[in-house]
Amino acid sequence: MGILNVTPDSFYAGSRLSIDPDAIVSRARGMIEAGAALLDIGAVSTRPGASPVSADEELSRLVPALTALRRALPDVIISVDTFRAAVARRVVCDFGVQIINDVSAGALDPDLFAAVADLRVPYVLTHSGGFASSAMPDNSFSSADAVSHPDSAAVPRLSRQVEPISVQVARFFAERLQQLYALGVSDVILDPGFGFGKSLEQNYALFHGLSDLIKLFPDNPFLIGVSRKSMIYRLLGTTPEEALNGTTVLHTLALQAGAHILRVHDVPEAVEAVRICSAVQS
- pLDDT score for 154: 34
Question: Average pLDDT of 226-250?
Answer: 96
Q: Is the model's pLDDT at 210 over the cut of 60?
A: yes
Q: What is the total count of domains within the chain?
A: 1
- pLDDT score for 175: 97
Query: How far is the C-alpha of 267 from the C-alpha of 36, rounded, in Å?
Result: 6
pLDDT 10s digits, 69-114: 999 999 999 999 999 999 999 999 999 999 999 999 999 999 999 9
- pLDDT score for 50: 56
Task: Look up the CATH number of the domain holding residue 77.
Answer: 3.20.20.20
Query: How far is the C-alpha of 193 from the C-alpha of 85, rounded, in Å?
Result: 20
* 130 touches 149 (CB < 8 A): yes
Question: Edge to edge, what strands does the sheet with 2-5 contain?
Answer: 2-5, 38-42, 77-81, 99-102, 123-126, 188-191
Q: pLDDT-based confidence at 11, cuts 50/70/90?
A: very low
- The reported pTM is 0.86
Question: Average pLDDT of 6-31?
Answer: 73
Q: Which of 171, 176, 263, 275 is catalytic?
A: 263
* 78 touches 38 (CB < 8 A): yes
Q: pLDDT-based confidence at 20, cuts 50/70/90?
A: confident
* 232 touches 243 (CB < 8 A): yes
Q: Which of 27, 229, 234, 275 is catalytic?
A: 229
For residue 192, what are the CA distances in angstroms to 96, 174, 211?
26, 12, 12
pLDDT 10s digits, 135-164: 455 444 432 333 333 333 333 343 445 689
Q: pLDDT-based confidence at 267, cuts 50/70/90?
A: very high
Residue 215 belongs to domain spanning: 2-281
Active site residue 198: no
| pLDDT, greater one: 276 or 48 | 276
Query: How far is the C-alpha of 86 from the C-alpha of 108, rounded, in Å?
Result: 12
